[in-house]
Structure 1
Amino acid sequence: MYIRNVLISGLAAASTAQAYSNYTIREEDWTVPAPAPVQEKRTLAKIFGIFDGIFGGGGKEPAQECPAVWTQISSTLTQQFLGDGQCTDAARAAIRSSFHDCFNGACDGSLILANECSNNENRGMERLCGNLANVASQTKVGVADLIQFAAAHAVKTCPGGPTIPVKVGRKDSSEANALGVLPSGHANAKDLVGLFAQKGFSPYDLAALIGAHTAAKQRFTDPSKAGSALDSTVGTWDNKYYSETMRGRAPFTLPSDKSLAQNPLTAGPFIAFAASKGMWDSAFVSAMVKMSMLGVENKGDLIDCTSALPGGSKKRDVRSRNLFDRLKW
């Protein structure tokens, strides 16, 4: 899935394929500038927060603010994930990495920390893994968090991409996860539905996650056609993947994707998502959030860093859609 070709590339979430073309990025391009001093602003919210603390109103502890370093990281990622107004191969790899770090065990950074990127099933992400490792080393952020943040950032960077809420504070692990869990581009729909069900995903979730292939390219399922896109608008985030896959009009279709488009449990969502990008975006975001929390034990301690993603908000995303999509028909 493209989260395998993809957060995972494509997340995929879902990674029924190995979907990336090579991209050339200098190591210095991934250098994160030091955070600029933050000038505290006195807002009404803070004033009322002070009174709340004095008079004991509510009794709730204030939510922790997202560390400023994530905004600096976001600026660096934007430079790598957006080129000529479209999402790049680096962005595709970032989306895919989310799925590959999480699905075979836990979202724990082992994709990089345990060098899982060198495994055959993770081919095509080696350069991204090295670059993200450098960013994590420079900024002292968690590797597991960085992988998920980069995936959400990449989706949002693609023109038309939705905002995926992202949190930080996961525990990193250098213990490798199991091999042979990630599906291939030749898997059949029945096996995929069963595999995803074991991880808590419905066929509807699976169909939504596989839509990340809208921004994916394949390299290894058919080496003779390496670099082929999985829909005709690979640089943007739209729902053409669904209609083109069902009608056999995509530049390239993975056997696994064709099988999902025809399976009774996933064919319905394919049709629905082809008709409404708004419906697909909503389903995809929900499934990706679930994906990003696989195996995470300290969910209650995580800090919301959605605000550090590129511009836009959920409300703005909704307003930008046509009425058909706003109603999620």
Structure 2
Amino acid sequence: MSITGFDLSFRHLCSPCIPPRFDFSSQSRRKIEYGCSFTAIRPVFCSMSSSSTAVSDSDENHVSTSYSRRLMTFMITFLLPLPKLMQHSGANANATDDLALIQGEIRKVLSKSKAAGVLRLVFHDAGTYELDDASGGMNGSISFELDRPENKGLKKSLKILVEAKTIVDEKQPVSMADMIAVAGAEAVSLCGGPTIPVRLGRLDSMVPDPEGKLPEETLDAFGLKQSFQRKGFSTQELVALSGAHTLGSKGFGNPVVFDNAYYKVLLEKPWLSSAGMTSMVGLPSDRALVEDDECLRWISKYADDQDLFFEDFMNAYIKLVNSGAKWRRD
């Protein structure tokens, strides 16, 4: 094996027929500027001929000095990357610790009954993103937008996250965007959904996002698909993200259980029944999905396979909370 021109097998130091012999002289012990002591090994060279000859003192000193320099070069070249590796490892450890800290404080204030509101907070903060002008997105600007009609009822959800953020900030400052992104993932997990990894490092916006960027609840399937396409999401991702409505009081199964009941209920179309309150199931936009052939294919897949829904929701969620985010430079 050779690194920076140095043969680690030491075979170049001696005749192939005669094993190398090393003199571990105490005079050759040196210290290298890495806080550790290394011994510079001084080889006694063998003759390449069948009759061995003595090496002169001057030649030996020259070889020893040359060898020591080569060893020093090797050690420095080999060790230089270590500080970067250590820093990278330390950065990963810090990110893991920060995430654990945020998750711990969120879990103290989050309950299953509050999960739907917290998850809705994620959609309303990130859902303002537009590809064309790269505006909006996951940036914590929802803090400035709570008085908008589409954000009615979100003040309570934001309040519990502000409470958790206050505690986190005492140990490690965190953006509101990161708090919301992590909280949504925790809400899903708490209610039995998939565990969603969330990257940290988002920066908060200091101004509200433009108005009128969230998909309206009255849109038909064509309008929904167009709206999500402008945000960079496919029809499949639209249907997967819509499954978040399985939580809450929309009428899709157990309001505090994250499962694929949303899709099963959509296929049943209970709003067509004449039995009173069943007409209140879901939003107009939910009902519109099942009337579109492309959306219907994914609704049927998720109704049949909850694991597939969980996987696709996780991937779409990660994409959602990264949409439009501005990242801290470490």
Fold agreement, TM-score > 0.5: yes
**Deviation for aligned residue 1:181:** 1.4
Alignment of 1:60-75 (within 5 A): 60=85, 61-62=88-89, 63-65=91-93, 66=95, 68=97, 70-75=99-104
2:180 corresponds, among 147, 160, 163, to 147
1:185 corresponds, among 210, 217, 236, to 217
SS at match of 1:152: helix
Unaligned runs of 5+ in 1: 1-52, 218-228, 303-329
**Deviation for aligned residue 1:167:** 1.2
Structure 1 CA distance for aligned equivalents of residues 205 and 83 of structure 2? 37
Is 1:254 the counterpart of 2:286? The answer is no
**Deviation for aligned residue 1:281:** 0.8
Q: What residue number does 2:255 align with?
A: 234
Aligned residues: 231
Alignment of 1:1-329 (within 5 A): 54=79, 56=81, 60=85, 61-62=88-89, 63-65=91-93, 66=95, 68=97, 70-82=99-111, 87-88=112-113, 90-104=114-128, 105-112=136-143, 115-140=144-169, 141-159=174-192, 161-217=193-249, 229-249=250-270, 252-298=281-327
Q: Does the CA contact (< 8 Å) of 2:115 and 2:256 recur in 1?
A: no
Q: Does the CA contact (< 8 Å) of 1:117 and 1:129 recur in 2?
A: no
SS at match of 2:226: helix
Q: Does the CA contact (< 8 Å) of 2:263 and 2:300 recur in 1?
A: yes
Structure 2 CA distance for aligned equivalents of residues 76 and 136 of structure 1? 8
**Structure 1, 58-67 or 259-268: larger mean CA deviation:** 58-67
Structure 2 CA distance for aligned equivalents of residues 275 and 57 of structure 1? 50
Task: Output one character per residue of 1:117-164: Cα deviation in whole Å (capped at 9) or x when no partner.
Answer: 1211101111111222233233222111001010011111112x1011
Structure 2 CA distance for aligned equivalents of residues 294 and 110 of structure 1? 13
One-letter identity of the residue aligned with 1:235: V
One-letter identity of the residue aligned with 1:130: K
Structure 2 CA distance for aligned equivalents of residues 78 and 297 of structure 1? 26
Which structure is higher in helix share? 2
One-letter identity of the residue aligned with 1:153: E
One-letter identity of the residue aligned with 1:208: A
Q: Does the CA contact (< 8 Å) of 1:246 and 1:258 recur in 2?
A: no
Q: Does the CA contact (< 8 Å) of 2:106 and 2:164 recur in 1?
A: no
Structure 2 CA distance for aligned equivalents of residues 164 and 234 of structure 1? 20
Structure 2 CA distance for aligned equivalents of residues 263 and 254 of structure 1? 15
Unaligned runs of 5+ in 2: 1-77, 129-135, 272-277
**Deviation for aligned residue 1:245:** 1.4
**Deviation for aligned residue 1:111:** 0.6
Q: Does the CA contact (< 8 Å) of 1:80 and 1:91 recur in 2?
A: no
Structure 1 CA distance for aligned equivalents of residues 326 and 108 of structure 2? 33
Q: What residue number does 2:133 align with?
A: none
Percentage of pairs with the same residue = 28
Give the TM-score taking structure 1 as reference length. Answer: 0.65
**Deviation for aligned residue 1:290:** 0.5
**Deviation for aligned residue 1:76:** 3.5
**Deviation for aligned residue 1:230:** 2.7
One-letter identity of the residue aligned with 1:126: K
SS at match of 1:167: coil
Structure 2 CA distance for aligned equivalents of residues 79 and 59 of structure 1? 36
User: RCO (CA 8 Å, sep 6+): is it higher in 1 or 2?
Assistant: 1
One-letter identity of the residue aligned with 2:259: D
Structure 2 CA distance for aligned equivalents of residues 232 and 147 of structure 1? 25
From the CA coordinates, give the structure whose radius of gyration is larger. 2
Change (3 A) 1:79 1:230: farther
Q: What residue number does 1:319 align with?
A: none
Q: Does the CA contact (< 8 Å) of 1:98 and 1:147 recur in 2?
A: yes
